[in-house]
Structure 1
């Protein structure tokens, strides 16, 4: 594995004039009054996976961490793990409970997400195509599995549920592929009870064979961005053949659901992270196949993409997160065994700030006050190394990052054996 080092930057300059900013603000105000209710922005909590989720405020400290967890040997059901993250609690850093799916089929617990009011969690099996709906409102420390949908493919016509993005009235799910495991993928919408509402297929043409992976919405600009990985038939291969991996990022008209741009970046553009706040016009995306980070910016309705960080080869940037003041960028390097921090006050010229070495870091979760970063270390069951499975906590800020050695959650000691911690949500 390649050790990460300070990357070099060769970005192109972009600028926004004062007149453009004024025009943009006026356009946003108009948009707020003209969008239909189900897509109107309703920001309350911090913008993370979904700008529509109303959860913790910056002045609220998290007390629980939910971790979507796979049974390591796939012999027992996957489960939702509840971790105590209240520093005043005698059980700080300890696992409070687990809530199994009850399904022993090959599931692959991967991503999950809240509904708008953060009272339910929609969690899926990347392989099984099952959907598990948990009630986290009645007793947050002891979630309850209230519904299982056995086959999203039969329900929607699409398979490989990846990203769960809350929208008013339900959840939008990015599906990797069609019912037969090929392309195209799609964005499907379910209501809060898990009933099928609609599907929006990915572009399916020679230069973009219908890949779908992650999604991020910027209602103020009436824009949505989706990304690429591979189709369900291919992701269990190790490695995935280069011809079966996408490089396209798609810019959509959020209101109309129509494609505006298809841009080809580097291989495997994964996590879509818009900058925070109504005035922001850009975002970052990690291209895992080329070990690069790109920045995009909406300029007068046209989105421009620039490669801004070149990491060492085979670093495998797995996740990126942006501080809520848009000042700092965090990058997890799965194969590089590190989490890196960059100053992105000038997003086209990121500056390396700090690095913490961890074993195969993958998903990250930043707290609303931008002071704490939780990190898990399972990517996929067929890609994980023989490493201890953990969730760590980094104390972060403009001065760098430090590992909190009082908070290390051991995922190797469950009664059923080891668990693979993947995605995380704060409560």
Structure 2
């Protein structure tokens, strides 16, 4: 423990933007056939460095079949909350869940990222015993502990009871127990995030393990059996206060991104596909008059494609849906980045007016039918997927793998691990950096990214920007 707050903790989003730029990026790697252990790659992102855009260290896990997906820090700017006593923690440990194994790894990034090591392993039996949940997914560092969402309940198939959120101690990493006291109508889970001073949490839905572990189930998708609700919670009381149905055709509302500045009571949700027309969509939520509201504020159309360019799953449609699989919001709440994994497009929206997003920029790379190459000429398998933004908003990083079995369905020719970066323009627009291309070891796919010192999908703030 430090004797003063970690210098990477910032009271407000504006102060976070003024901090020094990132030096390293952490990216989880998964072995899709479980032939070798999953790993954490540490990448040099310092321009001018002799190892720029190269993997400079790898932490290989001792087990196989974990399926790394999302991960996060043990502590962040939320530790500066005036209501808790954790201001002297360090942003030091990465919490990495195995989504298929329900095992969690704690990786210590000190004294240097290039010497990161495994600090602790939490076996699935502890999570089952203390929470009744399985398939840990999203990790967020809260003021009083580490919050982890899950995608499965108990039992072998994860269908014995609903999934939810549990809390871990942020220093010992002991699993403490379920977070919810009253879950209301929520029976599926995916993402979550919050506005700390306004005291609310937002959660979303994907599906239960039998609906995703062996690939997407077309019959469930076309009969609208995946998640299509957004839920709002009283954060301190730990109870569901409102649930809104997006409409059953809006399947898989996944990532939730609240405004970073806590005085702004709104945020965004990305929805994978509309089963009536194959569109992807962006939704804006806000609170007004003591109630939450949500509306669809942007749509992204599918793209027609010849049958021979499509995987069997899509040949009957004659088109590629955008498949909005991730979104991320810049620290100044000005730009929303939308990953269209199916069409191979990264979109940038100006959301200064949150209920009127305006397309401000776009780049193409990969894609089911287009297969757009990188500016360096290399092929990019898959499409833009997990996206991460630098604190100053000048760089946007992304990878290309969604989930092993889904990769195989939508991209049967393979999804070799890749990570790219685009530079942004102050008034909108982005351009892929020709000199940034990360080569990962053969047989691995790349998923979520975290930046040292924090990033736009890591930190939540307790004080408003000035």
Q: TM-score, normalised by structure 2?
A: 0.76
Alignment check: 8 A CA contact 1:294 1:309 kept: yes
Is residue 354 of structure 1 aligned with residue 340 of structure 2? Answer: no
- Separation of aligned partners in 2, 1:76 and 1:97: 17
2:445 is aligned to: 420
Which of 50, 70, 83 in structure 2 is aligned with 1:111? 70
Alignment check: 8 A CA contact 1:363 1:423 kept: yes
* Alpha-carbon distance, 1:212 to partner: 1.3
Alignment check: 8 A CA contact 2:204 2:256 kept: yes
Alignment check: 8 A CA contact 2:347 2:361 kept: yes
Alignment check: 8 A CA contact 1:321 1:329 kept: yes
- Separation of aligned partners in 2, 1:87 and 1:56: 20
- Separation of aligned partners in 2, 1:186 and 1:312: 32
Which of 364, 370, 373 in structure 1 is aligned with 2:387? 364
Which of 65, 85, 93 in structure 1 is aligned with 2:53? 93
What does 1:111-190 correspond to in 2, within 5 Å?
111-116=70-75, 117-151=90-124, 152-180=127-155, 181-182=158-159, 183-190=161-168
Q: CA RMSD, aligned part only? A: 2.1
Alignment check: 8 A CA contact 1:56 1:62 kept: no
1:44 is aligned to: 10
Q: Give 5+ residue unaligned stretches, structure 1.
A: 1-41, 48-54
* Alpha-carbon distance, 1:277 to partner: 0.9
1:334 is aligned to: 341
Cα gap change, 1:200/1:286 in structure 2, threshold over 3 Å: closer, same or farther? same
Alignment check: 8 A CA contact 1:45 1:57 kept: no
2:432 is aligned to: 403
1:392 is aligned to: 420
3-state SS of 1:329 partner:
strand
Per-residue CA deviations over 1:113-160 (Å, capped at 9, x if unaligned) read 001132100001111000000001222222110111120324421011
Alignment check: 8 A CA contact 1:273 1:321 kept: yes
Q: TM-score, normalised by structure 1?
A: 0.83
Cα gap change, 1:391/1:211 in structure 2, threshold over 3 Å: closer, same or farther? same
- Separation of aligned partners in 2, 1:387 and 1:69: 12
* Alpha-carbon distance, 1:289 to partner: 2.8
Cα gap change, 1:46/1:330 in structure 2, threshold over 3 Å: closer, same or farther? farther
Cα gap change, 1:229/1:387 in structure 2, threshold over 3 Å: closer, same or farther? same
* Alpha-carbon distance, 1:333 to partner: 0.3
Which of 271, 274, 279 in structure 1 is aligned with 2:258? 274
Cα gap change, 1:262/1:330 in structure 2, threshold over 3 Å: closer, same or farther? same
* Alpha-carbon distance, 1:46 to partner: 7.0
Per-residue CA deviations over 1:390-411 (Å, capped at 9, x if unaligned) read 1000001323000001001022
- Separation of aligned partners in 2, 1:329 and 1:189: 29
1:230 is aligned to: 207
> Which consecutive segments of 4 or more residues in structure 1 shift more than 6 A?
202-205
* Alpha-carbon distance, 1:44 to partner: 1.4
- Separation of aligned partners in 2, 1:248 and 1:172: 21
* Alpha-carbon distance, 1:362 to partner: 0.5
- Equivalent pairs counted in the alignment come to 373
- Separation of aligned partners in 2, 1:83 and 1:162: 23
Q: Give 5+ residue unaligned stretches, structure 2.
A: 1-7, 76-89, 275-279, 303-320, 367-382, 453-466
Moved more, 123-132 or 154-163: 154-163
- Separation of aligned partners in 2, 1:204 and 1:56: 33
Alignment check: 8 A CA contact 1:159 1:232 kept: no
* Alpha-carbon distance, 1:73 to partner: 3.0
3-state SS of 2:113 partner:
coil
Per-residue CA deviations over 1:41-69 (Å, capped at 9, x if unaligned) read x961776xxxxxxx965331100000011
3-state SS of 1:383 partner:
helix
Alignment check: 8 A CA contact 1:370 1:396 kept: yes
Per-residue CA deviations over 1:315-359 (Å, capped at 9, x if unaligned) read 110111112222111100010111001111112111112111122
1:198 is aligned to: 177
Alignment check: 8 A CA contact 2:401 2:415 kept: no
Cα gap change, 1:46/1:234 in structure 2, threshold over 3 Å: closer, same or farther? farther
Per-residue CA deviations over 1:241-299 (Å, capped at 9, x if unaligned) read 23541111110001111111001112211111001212211000001132111001111
Alignment check: 8 A CA contact 1:318 1:333 kept: yes
Which of 261, 270, 273 in structure 2 is aligned with 1:289? 273
Alignment check: 8 A CA contact 2:348 2:428 kept: no
